[in-house]
């Protein structure tokens, strides 16, 4: 057997501790699969005095900088999270010839380009399966298995917290605040839930997925983002009336041009939307994640599993570690991210979507004609319209055909200005065939 | 750019034609991803005179033997299927230093060991994503992403034909023969449906999955196999009464020993079984495939998609081709199958399962006591028993706890011999928590 490979770990919280446990427990298996043993060379932490079960204290150091450039380190695993010092440490590691594995979605979504460029420049591996959808093997299939295919669309539930909240609202008729409190009590949501419920977490993952699927640079700032804080019990009930369910979706789409299939750009967005209950994503319950991929030849694929948690994330890190270790041992780096397509990210207004709109309307003749006229004025065509309730309680439910989002949102503004519309009770985008 | 890599294709039927189409259409994309262009060097066919749209006739040859050993060929793609001449051709190719991509589940399940040994001996790549579950990236995740984890169970719907038939039976209350005829009329089932409905196809895939998941040699002959021809409308109705659905499942399980987690062996089996409607596999409709994987750290994962068809299979072949081409260009072969665990495959009788049993019983006192005694005699404990109907129509529905399959099947034999049991109307295994 060849001499062993030495691994440095940056960060030793929930995920890091699990990584250490798996490295120890599965040492024999890992050695068999890599062809050489893996050994922990050091663990950089901020507070070495903290008790970490199963972690050899002699490996701990507070000098991460020194650790990542040490001559006896071959591979660096980063599970600190956040932008700095993670970015500097990973760049230093690659510059000193180490390959890097990271679970850092925020950094990849904000400044992946710098990291990918460094990987290319220094011939280092940069693997990051754990950054999206926890243990679900998703990036590797997109990056490698579907590499001979043409991905047209990625549609995913990539945030477990919001899926748990929306699932509770759907199941129990709970309102958003009530469901959030329950999620917090059960540990599914943090005390400050902003990153989850406002869609920041999902947007970072959408950027990473779009970049991989379309070989095009996309950052979190390019992602149109709407959270779930405004989703009401009425929205969820309206979805149920359509045999739909509300999910926070991350959507990455290739937008076709009229002549070439590479398209005129990509659309990357995160928002709550209705999808039909018959869609495979509709049955994703609780805090599970799932990502639906539409490829030209492969057709529709779905990947489902736990999207977060120490053990699932550590499992993804270990999968990457085996691949990287094999590459290092063999002297050949793995595939580097390529963004050769360089498609523009289209603004939300140009993205084609469908709306579900629920209106409280006055109880008088000609209401439907006036409403229909407002849609026509914006060139939005109506797929179905239905009156619910009578008299003072009368509501109109309208589902549109596909139209540019700008036209749809202008229509909603127009409706708000109509005298016969007492209130726009619910507006929600619709994905999938209803 | 480096000089191009040359690819030989063996077989040019439905899948082969799609592979040629993708190689031509995506030439630029493929070159960008591999780092060097890929070129078709030749296509071995039996009948060159046949019309194949989009295939350059000057590439056709009937001498497959000569093609796979040609000096100007780097990679061989085998989509002929069957045992011979596919095996000899692949062995010759690897012996001459070519790497091989195959979609041949029958051969891998019968004699994968010979192929894997040749790959190791000659330092060749042997990739076979397309052999199981069409375009669903499944083998690569098992082989690579989950390689740092510990897979305990693989539970899959890996045959689209039987899933279509069972789905029709569940939806329309159709009997097996009626549903089979419809599947044949729609092209989901072949004129001779034996390989599908008797579970041979699923068993071959189960062998491949078990081998990968448990690093243990498993052939199709080791797989316990029962088809769906005996599944009746009554069985399906019985499942519905339990809020279950009947699926043909391929199950690969690590059987734990009392002390070590590597276990005393593996159980690999294919049979129709009830699973709860709440299980993610239950919602897999029509001819779709899905594979559920339970791993120690990653938790439950599911992979879903089209399991067959020319384009999906070709997509999987192309994904493998990019990986292999990258390995060949870089001079480092990919991971070779390792069967270091060498766990024994346990006989079906020792496998622990659960039964659902429906009995037509005599209308007299003491029936339940007599039936319960028969279960006790075989050490099988009952989870639930329920009487359905009255008088002449009386039926007992029994669901057992988990017990060795031999004890369960002996119990059924015993029940058949009881005077008060007029008929054992339905016997079916149960998977998942009901």
Q: Where are the domains of chain B?
A: 5-135+310-330, 140-306, 348-430
* Architecture of the domain delimited by B140-306: 2-Layer Sandwich (3.30)
Say yes or no for a CB contact (<8 Å) between B319 and A150: no
CATH tag, B5-135+310-330: 3.40.50.720
Q: Between these two residues, B270 and B136, which has the higher pLDDT value?
A: B270
User: What architecture (CATH level 2) is domain B348-430?
Assistant: 2-Layer Sandwich (3.30)
User: Mean pLDDT across chain A, nearest whole number?
Assistant: 92
Per-residue pLDDT tens for A137-147?
Answer: 899 888 877 77
**% of chain B at pLDDT higher than 90:** 74
Residue A133 backbone class (left: φ over 0; alpha: ψ -120 to 50; beta: rest): left
Does the pLDDT of residue A120 top 50, yes or no? yes
Q: What are A351-389's pLDDT values in tens digits? A: 999 999 999 998 888 889 999 999 999 999 999 998 888
Q: Which of B280, B312, B332 sits opposite A298 (nearest CB)?
A: B312
In chain B, what are the helix, strand and coil shares in percent, each to the nearest 5? Answer: 40, 25, 35
Q: Is A27 on the interface with B (CB under 8 A)?
A: no
Residues annotated within the binding site of B for NADP(+) are 10-17
**C-alpha distances in angstroms, B227 versus A104, A170, B159, B269?**
47, 39, 11, 11
Q: Is pLDDT at A2 greater than 60 in this prediction?
A: no
Is 70 exceeded by the pLDDT of residue A259? Answer: no
B385 phi-psi bin (left φ>0, alpha ψ -120 to 50, beta other)? beta
Enumerate the H helices of B215-265 as residue ranges.
Answer: 233-241
- Tell me whether residues A315 and B303 touch, CB distance under 8 A: no
Closest-CA residue of B relative to A301 is: B305
pLDDT of residue B1: 41
Rounded to 5 degrees, what are φ and ψ at A105? Answer: -70, -35
What value does the mean pLDDT of chain B take?
92
pLDDT of the residue at A1: 41
Specify the fold of A349-430. Alpha-Beta Plaits (3.30.70)
| CB pairs < 8 Å spanning A and B | 188
Largest CA distance in chain A: 86
CB B124 within 8 A of CB B94: yes
User: What integer is the mean pLDDT of A398-418?
Assistant: 96
Statement: residue B413 has pLDDT above 90: yes
Question: Residue A262 pLDDT > 70, yes or no?
Answer: no
A149–B contact, CB cutoff 8 A: yes
Please count the other Cβ atoms lying within 10 Å of the Cβ belonging to residue A386.
Answer: 12
Residues of B in contact with A140 (CB under 8 A): 137, 140-141, 144-145
Residue B216, pLDDT > 60, answer yes
pLDDT band at B262 (very low <50, low <70, confident <90, very high): low
Instruction: Give the model's confidence band at A261: pLDDT under 50 very low, under 70 low, under 90 confident, else very high.
Output: low
Pairwise CB contact (< 8 Å): A147 & B319: yes
**Interface-testing mutation among B297, B341, B343, with chain A (most A C-beta atoms within 10 A):** B297
B98 noted as active-site residue: no
Q: What percent of chain B has pLDDT over 70?
A: 97
* pLDDT beyond 60 at A160: yes
Q: Is B37 on the interface with A (CB under 8 A)?
A: no
Complex-level ipTM: 0.85
DSSP B345: B
Candidates B205, B247, B258, B342; catalytic one? B205
Q: From the CB of residue A272, how many other CB atoms can be counted at a distance below 10 Å? A: 22
A139-306 has CATH 1.10.3720.10 classification: no
- HSE, CB side, 13 Å, CA atoms: give it for residue B288: 20
Q: Is A58 on the interface with B (CB under 8 A)?
A: no
Q: Does B120 touch chain A (CB under 8 A)?
A: no
Q: What is the three-class DSSP state of B250? A: strand
Residue in B32, B296, B297 closest to A338 by CB: B32
Instruction: State CA B223 to chain mean position distance.
Output: 11
* Residue B147 pLDDT class (50, 70, 90 cuts): confident
Cβ-Cβ contacts under 8 Å for B133 (sequence gap 6 or more): B156, B158, B205, B289, B291, B303, B305, B307
């Amino acid at each position: 057997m060849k001499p062993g490979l030495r691994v440095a770990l940056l960060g030793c919280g929930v995920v890091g501790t699990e990584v250490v446990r798996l490295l120890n427990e599965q040492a024999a298996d890992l050695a068999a699969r890599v062809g050489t043993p893996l050994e922990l060379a050091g663990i950089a932490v901020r507070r070495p005095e903290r008790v970490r079960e199963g972690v050899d204290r002699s490996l701990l150091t507070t000098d991460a900088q020194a650790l990542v450039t040490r001559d006896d380190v071959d591979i660096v695993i980063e599970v600190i999270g956040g932008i700095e010092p993670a970015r500097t440490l990973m760049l230093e590691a690659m510059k000193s010839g180490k390959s890097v594995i990271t679970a850092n979605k925020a950094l990849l979504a904000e400044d992946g380009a710098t990291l990918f460029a460094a990987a290319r420049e220094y011939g280092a591996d940069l693997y990051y399966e754990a950054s999206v959808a926890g243990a679900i093997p998703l990036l590797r299939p997109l990056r490698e298995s579907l590499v001979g295919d043409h991905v047209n669309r990625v549609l995913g539930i990539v945030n477990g917290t919001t899926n748990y909240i929306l699932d509770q609202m759907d199941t129990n008729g709970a309102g958003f605040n009530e469901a959030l409190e329950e999620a917090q009590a059960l540990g599914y949501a943090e005390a400050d839930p902003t990153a989850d419920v406002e869609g920041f977490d999902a947007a970072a993952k959408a950027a990473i997925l779009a970049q991989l699927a379309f070989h095009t640079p996309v950052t979190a700032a390019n992602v149109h983002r709407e959270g779930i804080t405004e989703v009401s019990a009425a929205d969820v009930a309206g979805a149920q009336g359509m045999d739909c369910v509300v999910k926070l979706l991350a959507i990455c789409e290739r937008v076709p041009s009229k002549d070439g299939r590479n398209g005129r750009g990509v659309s990357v967005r995160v928002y709550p939307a209705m999808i039909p209950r018959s869609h495979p994503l509709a049955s994703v319950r609780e805090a599970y994640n799932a990502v639906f991929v539409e490829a030209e030849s492969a057709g529709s694929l779905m990947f489902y599993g736990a999207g977060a948690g120490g053990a699932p994330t550590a499992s993804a890190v270990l999968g990457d570690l085996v691949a990287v270790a094999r590459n290092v041992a063999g002297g050949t780096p793995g595939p580097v991210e390529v963004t050769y397509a360089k498609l523009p990210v289209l603004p939300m207004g140009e993205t084609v979507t469908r709306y579900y709109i629920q209106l409280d309307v006055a109880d008088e003749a000609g209401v439907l004609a006036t409403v229909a006229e407002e849609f026509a004025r914006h060139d939005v065509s109506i797929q179905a319209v239905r009156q619910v309730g009578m008299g003072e309680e009368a509501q109109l439910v309208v589902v549109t055909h596909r139209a540019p989002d700008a036209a749809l949102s202008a229509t909603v503004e127009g409706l708000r200005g109509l005298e016969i519309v007492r209130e726009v009770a619910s507006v929600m985008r619709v994905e999938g065939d209803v």
